[in-house]
Amino acid sequence: MRRLLARVLAEPAAKAPSKPAAKTPAKKTRANVTYAAELIRWDSAFTLDHGRIDEEHRKITRLLNMLYADWMGSHGKLSPMRVLDELNTTMIRHFLHEESVMAENKCPHLNEHKVVHRLFVRDLKEIGAMMRSGITDTEIKPQLLTFTRRLVVDHVLTMDHDMAQYMR
Ligand SMILES: [Fe+2]
Ligand SMILES: [Fe+2]
């Protein structure tokens, strides 16, 4: 697992602070800083061999990278909030699709899986609120890394792979 994390993540997720430290909105510090464009690199280990679900996971991964790159000012053409909205919609649609496939295939642990999906929706909402509140790059980066690690690495490699065993 450590090797995979070193291969796919921009850097190991640091401990994410639960809230921005400053009470007054801090200014974003984008100028004159070069950041790695990718938060996470897609790896064949994530593949479930279920075409549409794999494609959805890849799209979520792309959007997480776009959100990160855009926030850090590397691309700058898309507004981070627009990418965030697209990520949110794509993620919710993916969860609903996955849950319907699980129900069709009578996969066990559907309810537990749904609960975890809802927690991701809540967490992304919190990240959006932090971004809107003027959180700095230094503060948002560990939040995004932790979210990405939990969603793309931990969840896909455990619960989604487990689900895939029951899918036709
Ligand atoms: Fe899932
Ligand atoms: Fe999934």
Q: What is the pLDDT of residues 62-83, one digit of tens each?
A: 999 999 888 887 445 567 788 9
Classify residue 90: in a domain, yes or no.
yes
pLDDT of the residue at 25: 43
Average pLDDT, the chain: 84
Residue 60 near residue 36 (C-beta atoms within 8 A): no
CATH of the domain at 160: 1.20.120.50
Domain span at residue 121 reads 48-164
CA of 164 to the centre of ligand 1 (A): 10
pLDDT of the residue at 70: 84
Q: What is the pLDDT of residues 7-46, one digit of tens each?
A: 888 775 555 555 554 444 443 333 333 445 688 999 999 9
Task: Find all residues with CB under 8 Å of 155, minimum gap 6, and list them.
Answer: 116, 120
**Cα–Cα–Cα angle for 112, 117, 63, rounded to 5 degrees:** 155
Classify residue 18: in a domain, yes or no.
no
CA of 95 to the centre of ligand 2 (A): 6
Domain count, the chain: 1
Predicted TM-score (pTM) of the model is: 0.82
Classify residue 57: in a domain, yes or no.
yes
**Token pair listed for 9:** 């993540």
Classify residue 9: in a domain, yes or no.
no
CA of 156 to the centre of ligand 2 (A): 6
The predicted model gives 101-129 an average pLDDT of 96
More confident residue, 24 or 144: 144
From the CA of 50, which ligand is nearest? Answer: 2
CA of 90 to the centre of ligand 1 (A): 13
Task: Find all residues with CB under 8 Å of 14, minimum gap 6, and list them.
Answer: 141, 142, 145
pLDDT at 113 over 70: yes
CA of 24 to the centre of ligand 1 (A): 36
Classify residue 112: in a domain, yes or no.
yes
Question: Dihedrals φ, ψ of 9, to 5°?
Answer: -90, 145
**Token pair listed for 31:** 């100028």
Q: What is the pLDDT of residues 116-140, one digit of tens each?
A: 999 999 999 999 998 888 788 888 8
